[in-house]
Amino acid sequence: MTRASDWPALPYDEWAETCTTLHLWAQIVGKVRMAAGPWINHSWQATLYPTARGLTTSTLAARGRVFEVDLDLLDHHLRVAAAGGGRWELPLPGQTVASFHGELLSALERLGVGVRIHGAPNELPEATPFAEDGRGAYDPDAAGRFHRAVLQSERVMRRFRSRFLGKSSPVHLFWGSFDLAVTRFSGRLAPPHPGGIPHLPDEVTREAYSHEVSSAGWWPGHGGLGYPAYYGYAYPEPEGFGESPVAPADAFYSADLGEFLLPYDAVRTAADPDAVLLAFLQSTYEAAADRAGWDRQALEREEGPPPGLRSPAFHQP
């Protein structure tokens, strides 16, 4: 169990402008990652990863050099580190979207790892070019609480991921929709996605959902939802999915979104937040897998090391 204080309050209306700024900054950093690496199925080459200090691209390569970009949400700096010792940083408070964009691309060029990125956001109704966007609200305290909520969510989601033997995504952050996500695959092809998701090219959607999935994640409250929440959905959605019983009692099915939702506050205020979130992740997965006839016996495993690796030589109980 974790302390309730480890799961911070994050009322969306109090930090909506900071959330928008972070989302746009994450899009810029994510586009750098996408430009500096090979394509991986379902656009996994584009995602960001939580760290103890914020979000990272992990290692990238451009012009024959290795580098990484980090959003430090503890000291509130943007950092670039290049193999061989090149280093640059920028304080986040006081930056606009335009200055963040310009300073980062200029720094990458000076470090010898410059890349070209698409200069406007994706998956958003307003696609103001980054270089022309003067927004820049940034509350360090709210950004820090967002980071703590991401870390707690990612920690539990990694535990949930460990229960699956089949193909599964990492726990990663999609900067387009700005959500933390983990996806399980049945191993079967899916019917072509009909597309039509606003502000997202149909070819991206169809490649992302080329195979049958059960996906879960966490939104910080943007996109019209108005409050941070966990979600669980299936593609293709099997018949009766939305009527399936899921836990905990605060979870519900949104017909508008085609997803189960669980308010973040229902988790963070629980006596055992880990258990409540795991129950939601597991029950929404079971709703998808059982309704669609997944081979659960072949795809699932118990938590912890396999029996042959439970020796103290490999694992400390």
Lowest mean pLDDT among 84-98, 134-148, 187-201, 239-253: 187-201
CA 73/CA 92 separation, integer angstroms: 9
Contact 44, 169 (CB under 8 A): yes
Query: Which pLDDT band holds residue 305 (cuts at 50, 70, 90)?
Result: confident
- Residues 53 and 175 placed together within one structural domain of the fold: no
* Entry field: residues in the chain: 317
- Residues 207 and 79 placed together within one structural domain of the fold: no
307 within domain boundaries = no
- Residues 15 and 42 placed together within one structural domain of the fold: yes
| Residue 310 scores a pLDDT above 80 | no
- Residues 94 and 184 placed together within one structural domain of the fold: no
Please calculate the CA angle 147-152-153 and round it to the nearest 5 degrees. 95
pLDDT average, residue stretch 14-32: 98
Q: What is the pLDDT of residues 74-88, one digit of tens each?
A: 999 999 999 999 999
- Residues 134 and 153 placed together within one structural domain of the fold: no
- Residues 174 and 295 placed together within one structural domain of the fold: yes
Residue 255 burial (C-beta neighbours within 10 Å; 0-12, 13-18, 19+): exposed
Residue with tokens 């089949």: 166
Average pLDDT, the chain: 95
Query: Which pLDDT band holds residue 317 (cuts at 50, 70, 90)?
Result: low
Q: Total domain count for the chain?
A: 2
- Residues 72 and 150 placed together within one structural domain of the fold: no
Task: Tell me the whole-structure pTM to 2 decimals.
Answer: 0.95
- Residues 104 and 245 placed together within one structural domain of the fold: no
DSSP state of 193: P
- Residues 235 and 293 placed together within one structural domain of the fold: yes
- Taking Cα atoms as reference points, which of 221, 225, 255 lies closest to residue 241? 255
- Residues 195 and 262 placed together within one structural domain of the fold: yes
306 within domain boundaries = no
Full residue range of the structural domain in which residue 52 is found: 10-138
pLDDT at 302: 87
- Residues 126 and 71 placed together within one structural domain of the fold: yes
133 within domain boundaries = yes
Q: What is the pLDDT of residues 46-85, one digit of tens each?
A: 999 999 999 999 999 999 999 999 999 999 999 999 999 9
pLDDT at 3: 55
- Residues 175 and 115 placed together within one structural domain of the fold: no
Strands (E), 118-210: 172-174, 179-189
